[in-house]
Structure 1
Amino acid sequence: MNTVKILLILFMISFLNANEIMPTKIVNISAGATDLVINDNKLFVSTSAGRINIFNLKDFKLISNITIPQVKDFIGETNDSKIYSIDVLKNKILILSQGEKGARKIDIYENGKLSTIVPDTKHLFIAQAKFINENEIIFSLLSNELLLYNINEKKIIYNKQMSQSKFSYFALNENKKKIIIADESGNLKLCDVQTGNLLKTYKGKNLDNVFQVDFKNGKILTAGQDRRVVFYSKNDAFYKESSFLIYSCALNSKATLAAYSSNENNDVTIFDTSSKKDLCQLKENKMTLTKILFINNNEILVASDNDKINYYKIKE
């Protein structure tokens, strides 16, 4: 092998290693993370053990914990109430958690008190819930029904069946006027939040269940069981293929950067959505990813079924 070839191989190895990024910091949490929300310079982490950890976003020091009461399962055993999703609006925290005997409930935590909004006695199998404003929440059932709920009036504004496919995930746009709904069909439905009316269907790119979807700056990103991460812009759509199921994905605020779980080692690949070029890979994620969240263009959080969150700086 001549000198030029040796130098070329060494350069390529060096280039690949330079694009592999290790965590700058590891944040310890109560159990596997189920959702991450950033609000008012704080990081809110919901866990599978019925606890919300609240951290200072600047140094990741723990500020406080919120613990949801334990519940009884079908056979009467007491277990931690798994939290499925959270949201934060001003000083209120919206919490979707496991209720009694397999049902689910929605609570609001405010001023140290937990108030039930949708009780488990309704026997609803709610998959995800988010604030629309101080008086309205939106949530989806596993049966792929979308519901808008008025908190003050304790009334369902609408209940619409999105499709016959099992619900997977939804994402709201920045002003919370539109919602993207993903399900096991691979199709995406763009709906009006206040009416529930269908505005557009995106189909043909994901061929199977979409585990997660993100919606930023009018752009959409999906994480597919078919090993495809699909990026939709106004006039175009393309996908990248992975060697493994893609469980999680995220966009930065301008949707110029996209991140997705890209292999069986739970590495996260970040690519430029304009050039489609892979930029780097985030390493050392130990378990199946549950959430990726950009703090800004240079900082990103990666959570999993593990009791740790990895914090990365893309550029030092």
Structure 2
Amino acid sequence: MSKLFLSFFILVVSSFALEEVTPTYSLKATGAVQGIVYKDELLYAGTANGTVEVFDTKEKKIIKTIELPKIKDFMGDTIPAKVYSIDLIEDKILIVTQGMKGYRNLWIYENEELKKLIGIEKKFFIQKASFVSDTRIVFALLSNQIGIFDIEKNEVTVLTQVSQSSFSHFALNENRSKLITTDESGVIRVLKTSDLVVEKRLKALNLDRVYQLDFKKGKVLTAGQDRKAVFYDSFSSYALNFDFLLYSCALSKNAKYGAIAYNEENEILVFNTSSKKYLYKLIGQDATLTQILFISDKEIFASSDSQTINFWRLK
């Protein structure tokens, strides 16, 4: 049997082995969903409609809507403030929104009250923010500066320039002690959230911008503009190559499974990170993926630049 025929045979067998899964159910937000967070059977969705919407995943309906103050655009028209990122800790919600003149606002929602932590007077282009603790927040600017905001002191206590490349994405580990961040260079850095000192740099296997990454059990998965998904662990690393730009990725809680938005149909590939075996193809998303979220090894939510949030239960 020739090598060419053998390769073709393996490809055909693999394609037939990939199980296609349709959504178990869908949730409908009021605007395109930019990010989702899950806790205690509640799904929180930040939308381009200027809201954070809370869904009861048992009842499959919206039970709460947090409306962010509207802003005026460059023409003077009043518009919703697009939500760029959200995070949760205890009963607090952290929200990054569009501000006047293109700058960003950082909010905290607690006890039914919305409080602004950072306003447009700082002239920050905040791309993403997360809780480090209930009193400290880490945030990233488009300029690839990473900062710490102390809620009790009401001030930015650390602000460091990670590199001259524009920021892409960051993710925290489970206890929020470490942060991995990436940018248009494809380089991944590990920082300590205590002082934002770079602890290590991972060998760059992505050759261009990494759009998104995830960080679970000390392992990292990337989704890159170079059409590569790279999986890093402490022993070895490997790249999976695709035919389309990779915009979103996720790891399961134990990092046993990975998920990649891998083609122009906005389908999601689920694979085993140890064996590299492709397991499932999740279909039904109708726009570019913004986030994939494992809530267990067999349960996945995904949001996109549409109002639809899909949920899949795998066999």
In which range does the TM-score fall when normalised by the shorter chain? over 0.9
Equivalent-residue separation in structure 2 for 1:304 and 1:96 (angstroms): 18
Aligned residue in 2 for 1:245:
245
CA contact (8 A) 2:18 2:278 kept: no
Equivalent-residue separation in structure 2 for 1:219 and 1:237 (angstroms): 10
Give the C-alpha shift of residue 194 in structure 1. 0.8
Deviation track 1:267-294 (CA, whole Å, cap 9, x = no partner) reads 1000000100000100121110000000
Matched, 1:173 2:173: yes
CA contact (8 A) 1:93 1:110 kept: yes
CA contact (8 A) 2:18 2:279 kept: no
Aligned residue in 1 for 2:215:
215
Give the C-alpha shift of residue 172 in structure 1. 0.2
Q: How many residues align?
A: 305
Give the C-alpha shift of residue 111 in structure 1. 2.0
Equivalent-residue separation in structure 2 for 1:58 and 1:218 (angstroms): 31
Query: Alignment partner of 2:311: what SS?
Result: strand
Aligned residue in 1 for 2:25:
25
Equivalent-residue separation in structure 1 for 2:171 and 2:58 (angstroms): 26
Aligned residue in 2 for 1:235:
235
Give the C-alpha shift of residue 211 in structure 1. 0.4
Matched, 1:154 2:163: no
Query: Alignment partner of 1:16: what SS?
Result: helix
CA contact (8 A) 2:285 2:308 kept: no
Equivalent-residue separation in structure 1 for 2:15 and 2:181 (angstroms): 38
CA contact (8 A) 2:260 2:270 kept: yes
Q: Residues 162 and 16 (structure 1 numbering): CA distance in 2 closer, same or farther, change over 3 Å? A: same
Q: TM-score, normalised by structure 1?
A: 0.93
Matched, 1:68 2:90: no
Equivalent-residue separation in structure 1 for 2:14 and 2:98 (angstroms): 48
Q: TM-score, normalised by structure 2?
A: 0.94
Aligned residue in 2 for 1:103:
103
Counterparts of 1:224-303 in structure 2, within 5 Å, are 224-303=224-303
CA contact (8 A) 2:14 2:278 kept: no
Give the C-alpha shift of residue 150 in structure 1. 0.6
Aligned residue in 2 for 1:45:
45
Deviation track 1:186-225 (CA, whole Å, cap 9, x = no partner) reads 0001001011111111133100000001000110000100
Give the C-alpha shift of residue 60 in structure 1. 2.3
Equivalent-residue separation in structure 2 for 1:75 and 1:143 (angstroms): 26
CA contact (8 A) 1:256 1:272 kept: yes
CA contact (8 A) 1:231 1:237 kept: yes
Q: Which moves more between the two structures, 24-33 or 174-183?
A: 24-33
Equivalent-residue separation in structure 2 for 1:276 and 1:128 (angstroms): 30
Give the C-alpha shift of residue 158 in structure 1. 0.9
Which runs of at least 4 in structure 1 moved beyond 4 Å after TM superposition?
A: 12-15
CA contact (8 A) 1:186 1:203 kept: no
Aligned residue in 1 for 2:91:
91
Aligned residue in 2 for 1:4:
none
Structure 2 gap segments, 5+ residues each: 1-8
Equivalent-residue separation in structure 2 for 1:59 and 1:18 (angstroms): 31
Structure 1 gap segments, 5+ residues each: 1-8
CA contact (8 A) 1:43 1:55 kept: yes
Equivalent-residue separation in structure 1 for 2:46 and 2:238 (angstroms): 32
Aligned residue in 2 for 1:57:
57
Matched, 1:312 2:312: yes
Give the C-alpha shift of residue 18 in structure 1. 6.7
Equivalent-residue separation in structure 1 for 2:204 and 2:136 (angstroms): 33
Aligned residue in 2 for 1:190:
190
Equivalent-residue separation in structure 2 for 1:19 and 1:270 (angstroms): 10
Deviation track 1:285-314 (CA, whole Å, cap 9, x = no partner) reads 111000000010111011100110111011
Give the C-alpha shift of residue 14 in structure 1. 12
Aligned residue in 2 for 1:119:
119
Equivalent-residue separation in structure 2 for 1:181 and 1:79 (angstroms): 31
Identity of aligned residues (%): 41
Give the C-alpha shift of residue 91 in structure 1. 1.5
CA contact (8 A) 1:205 1:239 kept: yes
Give the C-alpha shift of residue 13 in structure 1. 9.1
Equivalent-residue separation in structure 2 for 1:83 and 1:117 (angstroms): 15
